[in-house]
A = this chain, B = another copy of it.
Amino acid sequence: MQHGTAKDLTRRETFELFTPVTVRFCDTDKLGHVNNVSIVSYIEAGRCDLYYKLMQEAGTDATIDFVLARAAVDFRREIFYPGAVEVGSRFLKLGNRSITTGYGVFLGVTCVATAECVNVFFDMSARTSIAPTGRLRTLLEAAVAR
C-alpha cells in the first residue's frame, strides 16, 4: 500500500471480514427508519468480531485489552425494517499505543454507513496504556498493510 492512500470504506472490496447483523423491529424509531444508535450497535458488532478474531490468532497476548477511545460514524443512507446488514471491518492505522479501524455497513452492495474508531492498547494488570509487542504487533502490522 502506498503511504497516505486512504481506504475507501464505502466499497465492499476494502474489507475481508464481514459480520452479519439482523435488523430488529425495536431498532426502528418514530421517524420510521432504523435509529442511528442501532447503526452504532451494528458497527460495534463488527468491531468486536475483528478484535475477537485478532486475539484468537495472537494467542498469547490475552492480557491486553482494547479500550474504545473514539468512534466517528458517517450516516449515508436510511435502513428500514425488516432486513439484515453486513458490517465490513478492517485495521487502518497502527500507532504506538493505539490503533485505528475502519467500517462499512452494507445493505447488499449499498453502503449505508461508514465509521472510523480508535482503540487504545491497555494492560489490564498494570492498568495503563501500553505498546503491543511480539506476535500481536506483527499481526497488526500485517493487517494494516493489507
Contact = CB atoms under 8 A, between A and B. Distances in A.
A113 to B, nearest CB: 10
A38 interface: yes
Interface string A93-108: 0000000000000000
Contacts of A31: 30
B30 A28 contact: yes
Interface residues of A, number: 35
Copies in the complex: 4
Dominant SS among interface residues on chain A: mixed
A20 B38 CA distance: 18
A71 interface: yes
Interface of A: 20-22, 24-26, 28-33, 35-38, 40-42, 44-45, 48-49, 52, 67-75, 81-82
